[in-house]
Amino acid sequence: MSISETEVRQALDILGDGARLDILGEHADLLRYAESEITAQHSERRLRVRVRVNRNGRSVAGSLETLAPDAVRSLADRLTAALADLPAGQERTATPDGDHSAATPAIPPAPSVLESDPAVRHRWFSTVRDGLDPSVKLGGAIRYDVLDRVVAESGGLFRAETLTKASIQAIAKQDGKSASVRLMHRDADQLPIEEIPDRLREALRPLPTVEAHHGTCRVLLKPQAANALIATYGYAVLGANAYATGRSAASGRLGEKITSELVTLVDDGCDPDGLPSGFDAEGNVRRRTPLIEDGVLVGLVSDRRRAGLTGGVPTGHAVPDGWRFGGDPVPSHLLLEAGTSTEDELLAECGSGLVVNRLDYLRVLHPKETLVTGTTRDATYWAEGGKLVGWHPQLRFTFRMEDVMNAIIGVGSIRDRCDQTFMESVVVPSLLIDAGPLVLP
Amino acid sequence: MTGFRDLAEVVLGLLPTDVQYGDIRVVRRTHEQVLVELDGPGEVNYDDSLGLGLRVLIGGQWGFAATHRLDPQGLDAVVGQAVGQARAAGGGHVVLGEPVTTRDAWSSPMEIDPFKVPLSTKLDLLSATVKEASTAGPLVQQIEASVDFYRDEKVFANTEGAMIEQTLTESGGGLMVNAGDGNDVQRRSFPQGVPRQIRGQRGDFATAGFEHVLSLGLPENAARVASEAVALLTAPQCPDEVTTLVAGSNQLAMVLHECAGHPMEADRALGTEASLAGGTYATPERRGNFQWGTPIVSAYADATIPGALGSFKYDDEGTPAQRTQLVKDGVFTGYMSSREYAGALGLQSTGQARADGWQRLPLVRMTNICLEPGESSLDEMIQGTKRGILVDINRGFSIDDQRMNFRFQTEIGWEIRDGKIGRILKNCTYQSDTPTFWGSLDALGGPDEWKVHGVPSCNKGEPLQVAHVGHGTVPGRFQNVQVGR
């Protein structure tokens, strides 16, 4: 841990009563490539110190890149002056002292990421590029992240962890077709880099391009595509504030069936199948939170402000101040329970239909109606009689997620780990969607 | 910024002799945000970020490192990381073209320094806005009125002899109202919308001072905007049909952004954004012969427009701000570029290398993407339309990875019947692909209706970078467009 507890305590002393620090020491190394050549390398070290001061029903915030006492003192003076300008209001954090008693989950950092050097990333790139036919053009990125986190409060709370993450994205293009693989893990040694060329080769299978189909059909969403659906659905529907204010499609429906009974969904920041992290931006311990059981809405994710909806205890889903995806609690580590079907069985059950490997640019048009629009990307196939028979042209889907979640008729037995810009990890299997809610334009 | 200049010179002095080219940016970014909600002040936030980014070219291959540590150990480390990366790559063929040797200092103009305006003045303005919006009744569930101010103080220096100081001050503000009745939730924004649920950073931004915020008329428009949000709850759905679409200039800003802005970035055309954003239809062999739209449409990028959010004097490689034609008389003609990507295309940089703060690598970014005005007007377009819809303010959108097929949703629409505005319509979307849509354009508003919209949330790159860009647009009319929910 490179963030000194002594410096943190000193900063809290300067800031005074009601202060909370949310500190990130970020260390990111990136290798990007396109057309089978390296195009950029990036190494970033930064310290982000987010400060919030809640005092007498008033709340102000700020951020710095240092814990140096003079800089903290300068910000403290500014925040104190701002507090004096604010009218007294309702305290926005219902339980300002947090849950000190819960132990911080232990998530060990991986030496493979802590001790990395550029040569490792170059080796990965070479392994994938050289494992493909020279006519295949490779694009993508390899990224290593080390994140030192501290959340501490003047009331005594102090939590710290170091998170590691390695990820690789490989997009292969050949003859106007493309396929992609995205892998990530807290431990770089766990990533099967040598398997990527085979996976890309298999996805770039030499099939003819079929005419675009129209109307509805069964659609098999492979894990990367299902990941976008589940993450977007969770973000729009399963947060306690959206639920409480009536903006969620699930508002008022706790205990009711809201999806196919094949869906069992939890949020668990400590499950090693995801990308674990132990606490949220308020310092609340991340708790395993069942959300949907056999299709029935059984839970929501909360922060301190909305802990009343989750038994008075925040589930550990407060988002950082200034987060670009809003201020409401939203799921962070979704895991969809695996089913029993093999990929071949799902394809057989799909019969004649579409197989989608990736859903891209999926955007919410109407949160309350769960209406979204997005496109397919990379390998999209047409199946006949349970066999892949051709590449299908890319297409746009506009649909209600609620309808699709209710039309799930098959769940794969193998889950993939992925992330989203608005979610730390999502672990999902393939999903077979019955004909109806997804319409090929 | 003497200290920044000294720092830059120290770091350049640490570079080893095998560095072909190096540049450094020392940047301090200050951000202030004030946000007031229905139940009172929701956010007062002061951000301060200082650091440096170093880029080196060795053997034709880049290395880049950034750090907040400005002590001698931090500087040594950042040089070691950038150089180590470039050497590890084992050679490349980056060509930068003509050297940049400019020495200059510049500050963006402003009338009222927003960082010197008392917090109480900002709170009063926003509280008055929220109070006006709340008069629309109990169905108003959420109000956010916010102002944001940014200041970038930056020094750019390179091994070719350039040393440029720039200070840019940006100001913006806006209002968002959500109304709900238990069954539906509808949103209205002013002066423009922001996709996703970003808190603050809403509205219209300019490279200007507090005077820009005062000019927006937030309190004066708040009651109308909130009333429209309430009215949308009971408004009819936008019908599914192929019809005439009249788009306000605000709406066209985002369409232009997605259909012409991103696709005409040279790095994207050369495949380097494949891992995140994707490719583009605007490939090099199509330059000069791809029919992008009807002959009445021309578009350009221009970083020299006074006060526009995407304006500056020099980009983050020291290249002067300039105007670049992207579409001329309906034909795709040009790219936005940096030194590297212009070199790869055999061109000169158009001065669009920009980085999000000190910690990010400069990328090819939009500046101010503009439509040349036409000869019509919004009123004439409506009067000349027998049946159609008028749409304004973007609510969300999605476009494919080649920037062709898109679907936009607007916050509000109105029927047009026999040349007149009719009922409000909700959940209006329209779907098309880039050349078909712009090929159906038959009228553009004139110079009097040309306006620059400042958008502080353009995303690109990995790690993700957020750029502040402008769009100079006019209303436009499009024929035979698929609209619907």
Q: What is the pLDDT of residues A297-322, one digit of tens each?
A: 999 999 999 999 999 999 999 999 88
For chain B, say whether A86 makes contact (Cβ under 8 Å). yes
- Candidates B351, B336, B363; CA nearest to B463 is B363
CB contact (8 A) between residue B119 and residue A141: no
- A182: three-class secondary structure by DSSP: strand
Return the pLDDT at B200: 67
Q: DSSP E strands: which ranges in B275-386?
A: 290-291, 299-302, 323-328, 331-332, 353-354, 363-364, 368-371
Task: Work out the minimum CA distance from B398 to partner chain A, whole angstroms.
Answer: 6
Contact between B458 and B219 under an 8 Å Cβ cutoff? The reply is no
- Element of type H or E holding A219: strand A218-221
**Among all residues of chain B, which has the CA nearest to that of A170?**
B275
- For residue B232, give the nearest of B281, B296, B187, B280 by alpha carbon: B187
Nearest-CB residue to A34 (from B185, B272, B401)? B272
Comparison of pLDDT for B157 and A100, the residue scoring more: B157
**B56 is written with which tokens?**
């080196």
Check residue B152 and give left, alpha or beta (phi > 0: left; psi -120 to 50: alpha).
Answer: beta
Tokens of A337: 């329970």
pLDDT mean by block of 10 residues, chain B; 485 residues: 93 97 98 92 92 96 95 96 90 90 98 97 97 97 95 98 98 95 93 70 93 98 98 97 97 96 96 83 96 98 98 98 98 98 94 96 97 98 98 92 94 97 97 98 98 93 91 98 90
More confident residue, A172 or A96: A172
Residue B413: which of B478, B483, B480 has the closest Cα? B483
* pLDDT band at residue A4 using 50, 70 and 90 as cut-offs: very high
Of the candidates B417, B428, B412, the residue with the CA atom closest to the CA atom of residue B385: B417
Q: How far is B63 from chain A (nearest CA, A)?
A: 5
Query: Which pLDDT belongs to residue B195?
Result: 59
**How far does the CA of residue A103 sit from the closest CA of chain B (Å)?**
31
- Please give the domain boundaries of chain A with CATH numbers for all domains: 5-203 (3.30.2290.10), 215-440 (no CATH)
Spatial contact of A391 and A177, defined as CB atoms under 8 Å apart: yes
Q: What is the pLDDT of residue A295?
A: 98
Put simply, the chain A residues between 28 and 67 with a CB less than 8 A from any chain B CB are: 28, 30, 32, 34-35, 37-47, 58-66
CA distance B352 to B367: 7
* CB-based contact, B206 to chain A, within 8 Å: no
Question: pLDDT of A201-246, one tens digit each?
Answer: 999 999 999 999 999 999 999 999 999 999 999 999 999 999 999 9
Task: Write out chain A residues lying below 8 Å of B466, CB-based.
Answer: 324
Count of A–B CB contacts within 8 Å? 222
Q: What are the CA-CA distances from residue B72 to residues A186, B15, B16, B274, B432 (Å)?
A: 32, 14, 16, 37, 55
The percent of residues above 90 in pLDDT, for chain A, comes to 88
Burial grade of A389 (CB within 10 A; 0-12, 13-18, 19 or more): middle
pLDDT of residue A93: 43
- Chain A CB contacts of B92 under 8 Å are 37-38
| pLDDT digit string, tens, across residues A379-428 | 999 999 999 999 999 999 999 999 999 999 999 999 999 999 999 999 99
- pLDDT for A97 equals 58
> What is the pLDDT at residue B198?
65
Give me the CATH topology for the region B2-233: PmbA/TldD fold (3.30.2290)
No. of helices (H) and no. of strands (E), chain B? 10, 24
Give the burial class of B463: count Cβ atoms within 10 A of its Cβ; 0-12 exposed, 13-18 middle, 19 or more buried: middle
> Using an 8 Å Cβ cutoff, are B158 and B40 in contact?
no
Q: Which of B398, B399, B411, B483 to substitute to test the interface with A, most A CBs within 10 Å?
A: B398
pLDDT value at residue B197: 61
Cα–Cα distance, A288 to A290 (Å, whole number) = 7
Contacts for A246-254: CB closer than 8 Å, 24+ residues apart:
A246/A368, A246/B141, A246/B180, A246/B182, A246/B185, A247/A367, A247/A368, A247/B141, A247/B178, A247/B180, A247/B185, A248/A367, A248/A368, A249/A367, A249/A368, A249/A369, A249/A370, A249/A402, A250/A297, A253/A297, A254/A297, A254/A298, A254/A299, A254/A300
To the nearest whole angstrom, how far is the Cα of A274 from the nearest Cα of chain B? 21
Dist. CA A377–CA A354, nearest whole Å:
13
Rounded distance between C-alpha atoms, residue A230 and residue A274, angstroms: 14
Query: How is chain B split into domains, by residue range?
Result: 2-233, 241-484
Is the distance from CB of B189 to CB of B201 less than 8 angstroms? Answer: no
CA B410 to chain A, closest CA, distance in angstroms equals 9
Q: Cβ–Cβ contacts within 10 Å for residue A208, how many? A: 8
Contact A375 B48 (CB under 8 A): no
Cβ neighbours, 10 Å, residue A146: 20
Does the distance separating the beta carbons of A375 and B401 come in below 8 Å? yes
